[in-house]
Amino acid sequence: MPSTIQEPARSIPVSAEYDVLVVGGGPSGITAALAAGEDGLRVGLIESRSFVGGNMTIGLPVLGFLGQKGNQIIDGLPEKFIRRLRTERDGASEHRPCPLHMGITLVEPEAVKTVALEMLTEAGVDVLFYTFFAGPVMDGDRIAGIITESKSGRSAVLAKVVIDCTGDADVAYRAGVPCGKGDEHGGMQPPTLMFCLGGVDTDRLRMTIANAPKEARTYLTDFIPAEYFGQNHQFIVVGLRELMAKAKEERGLSIPNERTIIITGLKKGEVWINMTRVAGTDGTDARSLTNGEIEGRAQIDDIVTYLVNYVAGFENAYFTKTAPFLGIRETRRIVGRYVMTQEDVLSCAHFDDAIAVASYPIDIHRPGDEGCTLIWCGDCYDIPYRSLVPQKVSNLLVAGRSISATHEAMGAIRVMATCMAMGEAAGRAAKISVRGNRAPADIDVGELRRQQLEHGVYLRNRDGSRAGLQDLAPAA
């Protein structure tokens, strides 16, 4: 077999031209497109799957709305979206405090797909499904558009500003933006194929944890006191380490995880299981992703055997479905105008160009073993606009888990409420860039912050209080 072949050059049609093009319709892409289109610009959104929502459709709760001090620190478009899910479709819970995760907001995957799509189409965003970003169209240091690949063949989509919300920095990477991947050895957090069980007595589960004798370690949970489960009917269980070790030993089960992770669904008796773990998978490599799907699926039977035979409340549980795709925690991160670090997260850093506030702890499913690193900073930290602005390409922005951050800081900013907040900022920055005919790196960040506040985004003052328009520095 030859190692390469020559692909002939060819002309391809230009299928669309926008002011702002968003690539990827996950949590960050949805809010990026909504914000970019809020006052009439032509906005396109390209999504490789047949629905929007990204990882918000794989059975995960949205984390990050509540900060470590218990107050709500994400507002604006993400809050509007969750409120609409809750009020129109019963598709979201309240933001519930959790000692480990700070705040959990349960969402129903099908409602996420429907409501997000409704909001995008109502806002006039031109959504195109089944279409893959295949390469950039470069004009010097500008990205003039992208090449797409789909059932219709290859075509070009042009735009004044492109926002990369692929999670993998696909656009930025191919456009020549320097990118990092994983930890110092290139190790990435392992992916998980989420799956769902029905017929679970979640009250029996939580009361068993709540009432377990203190000295019995089998129902011990990580960081969450037993009493919490007595008081909350929607929750995440993380732990039960000794119970699972016992099951593995007695039944010879192969479960590459130290912790049991159970997330209650919004429907009665439904839970989502976050326990498969496919170390060594590279989410930017199709062969590796395929192997990950195969391996993740193969792990499910043993996990179900453990849950049904050992965990209280699962006696009559049955498998219902897997998530639509393998959940990828980590791949590429761009190198931008500023690289967020662990020190920024742990020192609760303030930035003059803050466009969002986050509080989720550093939470790294370690690439090298079956454990997890969790570090809390005690309060909030800012996300600086410069971390959304890549080096090298002048009219590109990046939002979501692949912004400019180290492996450790990415472990904190990756949760979905934070990704939605970054998307909103990137969309609004793109709008300001187009309206002012200035590169995203050169826009007036004070104006961006003013517009963020006008749209209800949560920003904070140096003393930690919520910032209002009166707190902004006067325009120079």
Ligand X SMILES: Cc1cc2nc3c(=O)[nH]c(=O)nc-3n(C[C@H](O)[C@H](O)[C@H](O)COP(=O)(O)OP(=O)(O)OC[C@H]3O[C@@H](n4cnc5c(N)ncnc54)[C@H](O)[C@@H]3O)c2cc1C
For ligand X, the closer CB: 133 or 195:
133
Nearer to ligand X, 162 or 443 (CB): 162
Report the greatest alpha carbon distance in the chain. Answer: 72
- d(Cα 160, Cα 440) in Å, to the nearest integer? 11
174 part of the interface to ligand X, by CB under 6 A: no
Stretch near ligand X under the rule CB under 6 A, chosen from 56-64, 204-212, 220-228, 332-340? 56-64
The nearer residue to ligand X, 328 or 389, going by C-beta atoms, is: 328
Q: According to the binding rule CB under 6 A, does residue 167 interact with ligand X?
A: yes
- Residues 457 and 408: their CA atoms lie apart, in Å, by 25
**What Å distances lie between residue 67 and 139, 254, 297, 454, CA to CA?**
42, 36, 34, 22
Q: Please tell me whether residue 37 binds ligand X under the rule CB under 6 A.
A: no
119 near ligand X, judged by CB under 6 A: no
CA triplet 30, 56, 359: central angle to 5 degrees? 85
Binding pattern for the stretch 397-436 against ligand X, x by CB under 6 A and - elsewhere: ---xx------------xxx--x-----------------
Which region among 33-41, 52-60, 224-232, 366-374 touches ligand X (by CB under 6 A)? Answer: 52-60
284 binds ligand X (CB under 6 A): no
Two tokens, residue 441: 């790196």
Q: Whose Cβ is closer to ligand X: residue 207's or residue 372's?
A: 372
User: Least CB distance from residue 250 to ligand X, whole Å?
Assistant: 27
Write down the least CB distance from residue 50 to ligand X, Å: 10
Smallest distance, Å, CB 301 to ligand X? 19
User: Does residue 386 touch ligand X according to CB under 6 A?
Assistant: no
79 is a contact residue toward ligand X (CB under 6 A): no
Q: How far apart are CA 345 and CA 361, in angstroms?
A: 8
Q: Per rule CB under 6 A, is residue 387 in the interface with ligand X?
A: no
Q: Could you tell me the smallest distance in angstroms from the CB atom of residue 259 to ligand X? A: 13
Residue 390 one-letter amino acid: P
Return the range that interacts with ligand X (CB under 6 A); candidates 57-65, 83-91, 137-145, 443-451: 57-65
Q: Contact between 48 and ligand X (CB under 6 A)?
A: yes
What is the bridge-based pairing of β-strands 271-273 and 260-264? antiparallel
Among the residue ranges 13-21, 110-118, 159-167, 437-445, the one whose residues contact ligand X (CB under 6 A):
159-167
**Which residue in 430, 427, 416 sits closest to 82, CA to CA?**
416
Tokens of 189: 């957090």
> Between 95 and 386, whose beta carbon lies closer to ligand X?
95
**Which H/E stretch holds residue 238?**
strand 236-239
Among 21, 24, 107, 292, binds ligand X (CB under 6 A): 24
Q: Which two tokens stand for residue 65?
A: 């709305």
Binding ligand X (rule: CB under 6 A), the pick from 27, 37, 103, 361 is 27
Site for ligand X contains 164 (CB under 6 A):
no
Q: Which residue, 377 or 419, has its beta carbon nearer to ligand X?
A: 419
Q: Which of 42, 113, 329, 428 binds ligand X (CB under 6 A)?
A: 329
- Residue 278 sits in the site that holds ligand X (CB under 6 A): no
- Minimum distance of ligand X from residue 475's CB (angstroms): 32
Q: Among 166, 234, 342, 404, which residue sits at the site for ligand X (rule: CB under 6 A)?
A: 166
Q: Which structure tokens are listed for 111?
A: 């409602």
In angstroms, the CA 63 to CA 413 distance is 10
Angle, to 10 degrees, between the axis of helix 416-436 and the axis of helix 27-36? 30
Residue 273 per-residue DSSP state: E
* Segment (H or E) for 326: none
What torsion do the CA atoms of 434, 439, 445, 449 make, to the nearest 10 degrees?
Answer: 30
Single-letter amino acid code for the residue at 387: S
Of 103, 57, 137, 71, the C-alpha closest to 458 is: 71
Residues 6+ apart with CB under 8 A from 398: 163, 164, 165, 169, 172, 177, 334, 336, 388, 389, 390, 404, 426
User: What are the structure tokens assigned to 22, written together?
Assistant: 């968003």
The least distance separating ligand X from the CB of residue 274, rounded to whole angstroms, comes to 6
**Closest distance to ligand X from the beta carbon of 100 (Å):** 11
Among 29, 136, 336, 367, binds ligand X (CB under 6 A): 29
Binder of ligand X out of 42, 43, 44, 54 (CB under 6 A): 54
Q: Which of 18, 19, 28, 43 binds ligand X (CB under 6 A)?
A: 28
Which residue lies nearer to ligand X by CB, 132 or 351?
132
**DSSP secondary structure letters along 28-64:** HHHHHHHHHTTTS--EEEE-SSSSS-GGGGTTPPEE-
Closest distance of CB 376 from ligand X, Å: 16
Q: How many CB atoms lie within 10 A of CB 287?
A: 8
d(CA 341, CA 346): 9
Q: Which residues bind ligand X (CB under 6 A)?
A: 23-29, 46-49, 54-55, 60-64, 132-133, 165-168, 170, 191-192, 274, 327-329, 400-401, 414-416, 419
